[in-house]
Amino acid sequence: MFGKVKVLIVDDSGFTQEVLKTILEKDSAIQIIGMAEDGRKAIELTQKLKPDVIVMDINMPAMNGFEATEHIMAYCPTPILILSSVIDKEGVFTTFNALAAGAVDVMEKPSMLPSNSWSSIGDVLIKKIKSISKAKVVTHVKGRVKEFSPHVKPVSLIKSNTPEIVGIGASTGGPSVVMQILKSIPSDYKPGILVVQHMASGFIKGFSDWLGAACKVKVSLAKDGEKIEGGQALVAPDGCHTIVRSKKTIGLVSGEKVHGVKPSVDVLFNSIAEVYGNSAVGVLLTGMGADGAEGLKHMKERGGATIAQSEDSCAVFGMPKVAIEKGAASKVLSVEEIVRALKFINNRQ
């Protein structure tokens, strides 16, 4: 018999603490073991109580959620779910900095009133907490995005053709990995880059802006009919699927969710496979579920180079695991090896 998932709630609002406690304890598999009103208290209780998951607010007095996450991930690594309002640009950046510092995922916090707005997220929140409790977390000494040394052997994708497009798919644990990859890509990168990151509604624009502020390549949300160009990364927006209609042209399409998500990695990868064939590279990163595995396999069957993130470097070895089991991955690489492989493409053109 497995034990309960022990949860620490961190929020400066007593009302929010009690609402979260009530919602989460409706599930018999979850136990609230403590509540903290600021980051300093969160650090103290994390060290004392050793929770399985921390639900962390961002905007708090004394010490905010980013600073607390940074400290916890450096000294007592614990799966952290950021619960944040979609607010101004500075607040969104603080949220994503917390993800870069080691937090596993983010969800939108409902408005304070009416209280029944919280009940609408209950099932999703419980499911996410259970999933995050199984995530593999590592110590982040500085809680910052890692810079990779250029003095290492390049990773060849063993392709004779010249790649024109790189498709990247990620879910839980993905934002910090996508940042690590894109931050290492030079501004003169020749292939276009398309990214699907599963994310709570309302956060994807902030994610794109956060990447753009730190990366040498231009990063923006994809628009229907937009050209795909080198030196830029286009991020799939909320509420629709992103595809390539023809070489160099993006399309945004409606349709049902695939694997329960929209945008879907599978939809993007399948379109890349059909349009670009053997001049495509697909990269499937950390995340729960199976989205992207079939699409990656399709890319491989069409002659493209395909990469799945290695288990030891994944926060959640779900999507890459399914892809590997399906024989969809040409290579299984760590994050640093993925960076070196993508850089190798540019260096040989």
Catalytic residues: 171, 198, 291
| 3-state SS track over the chain | CCCCEEEEEECCCHHHHHHHHHHHCCCCCEEEEEEECCHHHHHHHHHHHCCCEEEECCCCCCCCHHHHHHHHHHHCCCCEEEEECCCCHHHHHHHHHHHHCCCCEEEECCCCCCCHHHHCCHHHHHHHHHHHCCCCCCCCCCCCCCCCCCCCCCCCCCCCCCCCEEEEEECCCHHHHHHHHHHCCCCCCCCEEEEEECCCCCCHHHHHHHHHHHCCCEEEECCCCCECCCCEEEECCCCCEEEEEECCEEEEECCCCECCECCCHHHHHHHHHHHHHHHEEEEECCECCCCCHHHHHHHHHCCCEEEEECHHHCCCECHHHHHHHCCCCCEEECHHHHHHHHHHHHHCC
- Identify the CA nearest to 191 among candidates 137, 231, 146, 140: 231
- Identify the CA nearest to 71 among candidates 44, 48, 95: 44
Which residue has tokens 């497995």?
2
Rounded CA separation 65/59 (Å) = 6
Whether the CB-CB separation of 307 and 297 falls below 8 Å is answered with no
Which residue has tokens 């940074």?
70
